[in-house]
Structure 1
Amino acid sequence: MGRQGNDGKRPSLHFWFDFASTYSYLSAMQIETVAADRGVMVVWHPFLLGPIFRKQGWETSPFNLMPAKGRYMWRDMERQCEVFGLPLVRPDPFPQNSLLAARVAHAARAEPWIGAFVRAVFYAEFGAGLDISDPSIIAGILLDVGADAAAALAKAETMDVKIGLRAAVSEAETQGVFGAPTFISGRGELFWGHDRLEQALDDALVLSD
């Protein structure tokens, strides 16, 4: 059983992810299970890296801008997916347009099916090579996780959700997020990259004075 904070609440770990991010795929497929084993609650933060990258003068993923880095990343993803028993298909194009998926996830981030939805979107993209910008793909995933697909897609197109997702990007920047996946513990410690997930969970369990 996990430890509790001084206020009696379960410790939490904030998970910032972009559906277009390869390493976010690895984390998304594991985080809910490993966090539950440690008694840590996952707080889901879908956001978009594109606006943050553009402020750096990047119009696409740095893995595209730096071919050597991109080659390494795909080989590393092959190795990591083999370790974790995950399929890997390179999306075409890469990165995918993740706006619709991010809006749906942002609107549903407190729903009981959010974890299943996030995993299914990542699996569709990186496990099956599907186009996650296609509303029919997202609708099918919503139905599979037991959500009202029509209502969820309609909500994703509301101005409140569009503004909310833009605000999430601004919040990410304020928190110091510059890449995905990023984990922030309840103490405010930031950890970047899938290989920091276990360390982030350890920090989430540290009780504040």
Structure 2
Amino acid sequence: MASAPLDFYYDFSSPYSYLAAARIAALAEGADVRIAWKPFLLGPIFAAKGHATSPLVSDPDKNVHMWADVTRLAELYHLPPLRRPDPFPVNSLLAARVALHLNDACRPAFTRAVYRAEFAEGRDIADRETIYHLLAGLGHFFEEVIDEAERQENKDRLRAQTEAARAEGVFGAPTFIAADGALFWGNDRLEMALDHARRLARAA
């Protein structure tokens, strides 16, 4: 039986996507699920709904709860102590372009490195130097990768991936979409999404 497919839509400004990205590879391997890592931008989706920023940020009570919740979960998952980016939300455009440009084999490691730099090390992922160092640390020719990631063709690919996410009903991150179109939103739905994908494959 072939591995079950599951799309993983994530935005680099999303702390809950950070938690999911840190957990998904091991869980997916155990469930025999094949993950498609799909970086996208939440900003245009929020804007289309009339939000100037994330609803979790615009509501002070939700914002306070979110950071307390993510801090507790990072500890529960044995991740490094959480460091809140400043400013937040971060400008995730360059990181998303680079992640999308990288091939499927390289994208997960880069994604985890970006999240770790942002939420565990307090580094500015909007800074090209940060992205340079992350790529170099993974063995990539960083200047070439960034130049190619910022070509118009790749910019258009990111817009198209963001629009594809919106068309599939994505409204937040992380979001997991199974082969039958079932949508699971949030880090706390990761296990449920993997189980659903696995059951679909077994029934096929």
In the superposition, the TM-score normalised over structure 2's length comes to 0.95
Superposed counterparts of 1:81-96, under 5 Å: 81-86=74-79, 87-96=81-90
Name segments (4+ residues, structure 1) moved above 3 Å.
none
**Corresponding position of 1:116:** 109
**Corresponding position of 2:61:** 68
Q: CA deviation at 1:187?
A: 2.0
Secondary structure at 1:161 match in 2? helix
Secondary structure at 1:153 match in 2? helix
Q: Which of 91, 94, 98 is the equivalent residue of 2:92?
A: 98
Secondary structure at 2:28 match in 1? helix
In the superposition, the TM-score normalised over structure 1's length comes to 0.93
Q: CA deviation at 1:59?
A: 1.3
Does residue 134 (structure 1) correspond to residue 109 (structure 2)? The answer is no
The number of residue pairs the alignment matches comes to 201
**Corresponding position of 2:26:** 33
1:197 counterpart letter in structure 2: L
CA RMSD of aligned residues (A): 1.1
Q: CA deviation at 1:109?
A: 4.4
**Corresponding position of 1:22:** 15
**CA offsets per residue over residues 157-188 of structure 1, 9 Å max, x none?**
11110000000111001110000000011222
2:86 counterpart letter in structure 1: D
Q: Is the 8 A contact 1:45 1:109 kept in 2?
A: no
Does residue 199 (structure 1) correspond to residue 192 (structure 2)? The answer is yes
Q: Is the 8 A contact 1:16 1:45 kept in 2?
A: yes
CA distance in 1, matches of 2:184, 2:43: 20
Superposed counterparts of 1:153-168, under 5 Å: 153-168=146-161
Q: Is the 8 A contact 2:6 2:197 kept in 1?
A: yes
Q: Which runs of 5+ in 1 are unaligned?
A: none
Q: Is the 8 A contact 1:46 1:102 kept in 2?
A: yes
Secondary structure at 1:205 match in 2? helix
CA distance in 2, matches of 1:56, 1:114: 29
Q: Is the 8 A contact 1:113 1:146 kept in 2?
A: no
What is the percent sequence identity of the aligned residues? Answer: 47
CA distance in 1, matches of 2:138, 2:23: 17
2:134 counterpart letter in structure 1: I
Q: Is the 8 A contact 2:100 2:107 kept in 1?
A: no
Q: Which has the higher helix share?
A: 2
